[in-house]
Amino acid sequence: MLESFAMGFSAIMSPIPITLLVIGVILGILFGASPGITSSMGMAFMLPITYSLSMTYSIALLIGLYIGGVSGGLISAILLNIPGTPASFPTTFDGTPMVRSGKAGKALSYGMICSFLGGMVSFILLFTIAPKLSKMALTFSNVEYFSISLFALVLVASLAGKSLPKGIMSALIGMMFATVGMAPVDGVKRYTFGSNSLVGGFTLISVLIGVYAIIELLKLAEEGHMEKIQVPNFKMKGFDIPLKEAKGQIKNFFLAAGIGSVIGFLPGLGPSVASIMSYTAVKASSKHPEKFGTGIPDGIVASETANNAVIGGALIPLLTMGIPGDAATSILLAGFILHGVTPGPLMFTKQPEVVYAIFVSLIIANIVMLVCEYFAMPFFLKTLKVPKHILLSIVMILCVIGAYGANNRIFDVWMILLFAVVGYTFKKFNVPIAPMMMGFILGPLVERNLLRGLQMSYGKFWPFLTRPVSAAFLLLTVVYIIMIIIQRSKNKKVEVY
Amino acid sequence: MFKNKSYKSYSDILFGAFTMILSLVYFYFALDIKVTKGAILGGGRFMPLVISIAMMVMSFCIIIIGYKKYAKSNGESNPSKPNQYKRVLLILGIFVIYIMLLGFLGFLISSTLFLFTLIMILANKEDRKLIQTVIISVITCIIVYFLFSKGFGLSLPNGLFI
């Protein structure tokens, strides 16, 4: 493994990849800190730049964006009381009171250090688990992939929102969109209505740009009057974390890192879910839960550790099985596909340089992120003064480039509008969007693996139930569905009476 | 019928009805899919059929749950913010026009016009600065155009002019 890391280091530590990585981190922090732009959005419209870059350069840039983006939200969450990204929303609970009592430096110190360390913990998990999991995944056939993808779909449909039927419906709609085009095994045309453009189906990047980026424009249009943000000037002077205080946070840290990594591993959830769940859990396990929200470091530790810990966790299913763990990894997936790389267990054996380039980029980008946030705080704060609507409008132009650049056709640009409308409609009806994305990505996996698996077993379903891994996941799926239904009907009874 | 109760209380019924129609249409066109001889489970038709039936079942659940919620709600309407849907439609319309123009006027001109219009409309009335917006639009689009087409080698929509 050390040799592989050395390989990764030599690939990334050359002038161009390092420059791209640093640019990625800086832009990522900017996007993360800007309340108008989310980190997924930033990655989505930066994707077209990678079209003409090599795989390694693209990785350096995208990983930099990913790490910077997840972390950057803490800057505005703490100093402006506006989370830069949804992932930093719980950071405002204790960040803002700390600023009010003059402890902005402490809040920022905790935020930055926890982002860094939380990420590192999840990376260590990634480095140790992923290669082992990929070895196991090498033994997987279509049968196992079917059961795993099915379970992943059920998981995301149930965890994403409050309403189970809406979550399932969202996933089904995503799967529906994915059926447009050519069927997996026999290649028959489906739902193309005579249009040549639809034969290839909807391009993943169009769906991602529409749902994660263009939708923000519609949300902004809906806002009446835009509030002017007062941006303070601030410079970091040392990390305000006394050793004794830090020791008291160790338990919180590891709890948050664990939650973040697990949530990252579960498909379709992401940093925003991780941070709030972590906050809730850390508060519940605290000796002084009543102090949460008044300005204690615990809250920031909980939130910022978890949202960065998602990164390593989310990369595990992506790299070992091609199943993205969150929105950002969905975009990474699109990036891989663009370069003709299919993430999965074979990547570890046939293209280990890609895997270890990712691993090394994660470590370096994490360090760069910490350094940038510490030294360049005034710079980031200045950029936050750019009005949201101007920034967003410019991003729209970049989105159009991104959508067009994928296949050189205007059709994909039209599609970003379609999916923005779909996403916006979902929002209006309180339907979670993550299941739709996962349905769009996993639906074809489920179908293809089911049909191919059955083809190999000559139409018999037995292998799905007898092969151990497949049986385990199918059982898990059924048990999980039953559990959810029981739990929800219990809640309903409580409501009625 | 819906007048006394806020939109929130019947939005689920609306959504359920919409998805029910969607699933019926999706099911109908699934029957158009050719069944390859000898294909397992009918080949390409299987998944759409499964999805559409599942969607019908879910739509039904959503409508039922939505109706229960509607019946329970006591009609309090809390207009948190006046609905700005007109503005949303306007922005959508501008985007549509932009994409249509891309083929005629090309990327550079269309994007400049689009950016200008978008910034002016989204800005608060008191913050609208004509000259500043023109400068931002023109310069940004020129930079982006050259950066992506010459710098990154991406091809951008060509119009009759640029």
pTM of the model: 0.87
pLDDT tens digit sequence for A182-226: 988 888 889 988 888 898 899 988 998 899 888 888 888 888 777
- Nearest CB neighbour to A454, from listed B22, B41, B65: B41
Sign of CA dihedral B61, B62, B65, B71: negative
CB-based contacts of B54: which residues, under 8 Å, 6+ apart? A168, A172
The CA distance from A358 to A365, in Å, is 10
pLDDT at B116: 93
A contacts of B84 (beta carbons < 8 Å): 221-224
Worst-scoring range by mean pLDDT, A178-187, A225-234, A298-307, B43-52?
A: A225-234
Instruction: Mark yes or no for CB contact A176/B59 under 8 Å.
Output: no
Instruction: Mark yes or no for CB contact A176/B51 under 8 Å.
Output: yes
A contacts of B93 (beta carbons < 8 Å): none
- Nearest CB neighbour to A52, from listed B43, B85, B153: B153
pLDDT tens digit sequence for B104-156: 888 899 999 999 999 998 888 877 888 888 999 999 999 988 888 887 777 78
pLDDT at B79: 56
Mean pLDDT, residues A23-27 taken together = 94
- Nearest CB neighbour to A447, from listed B47, B83, B96: B47
The CA distance from A74 to A87, in Å, is 9
pLDDT tens digit sequence for A52-99: 888 889 999 999 999 999 999 999 899 888 888 889 999 999 998 998
Residue type, A279: Y
B contacts of A190 (beta carbons < 8 Å): 33, 44, 48
Residue A418 · residue A203 · CB < 8 Å:
no
Query: CA of B10, closest CA in chain A: separation in Å?
Result: 10
The CA distance from B6 to A252, in Å, is 42
Query: CA of B47, closest CA in chain A: separation in Å?
Result: 7
B contacts of A169 (beta carbons < 8 Å): 19, 55, 58-59, 62
pLDDT at residue B73 above 80? no
Binned at pLDDT 50, 70 and 90, residue B5 comes out as: low
Sign of CA dihedral A330, A322, A168, A176: positive
Which ipTM value was assigned to this complex? 0.90
pLDDT at B83: 67
Query: CA of A175, closest CA in chain B: separation in Å?
Result: 7
CB-based contacts of B3: which residues, under 8 Å, 6+ apart? none
pLDDT at A497: 39
The CA distance from B37 to A18, in Å, is 54
Mean pLDDT, residues A334-352 taken together = 86
- Nearest CB neighbour to B51, from listed A172, A221, A410: A172
Query: CA of B96, closest CA in chain A: separation in Å?
Result: 8
- Nearest CB neighbour to A190, from listed B48, B87, B144: B48
Instruction: Mark yes or no for CB contact A165/B62 under 8 Å.
Output: yes
- The pair of structure tokens assigned to A132 is 């082992």
Q: What angle do CA B23, B27, B33 make, to 5 degrees?
A: 145
Query: CA of A179, closest CA in chain B: separation in Å?
Result: 7
pLDDT at residue A496 above 50? no
Instruction: Mark yes or no for CB contact B29/A191 under 8 Å.
Output: yes
Instruction: Mark yes or no for CB contact A179/B51 under 8 Å.
Output: yes
Rounded to 5 degrees, φ, ψ at A378 are -60, -35
The CA distance from A349 to A134, in Å, is 9
- Please, which residues bridge with residue A181 across strands? A190
pLDDT at A52: 81
pLDDT tens digit sequence for A216-274: 888 888 887 777 777 777 787 878 788 888 888 899 999 999 999 999 998 878 898 89
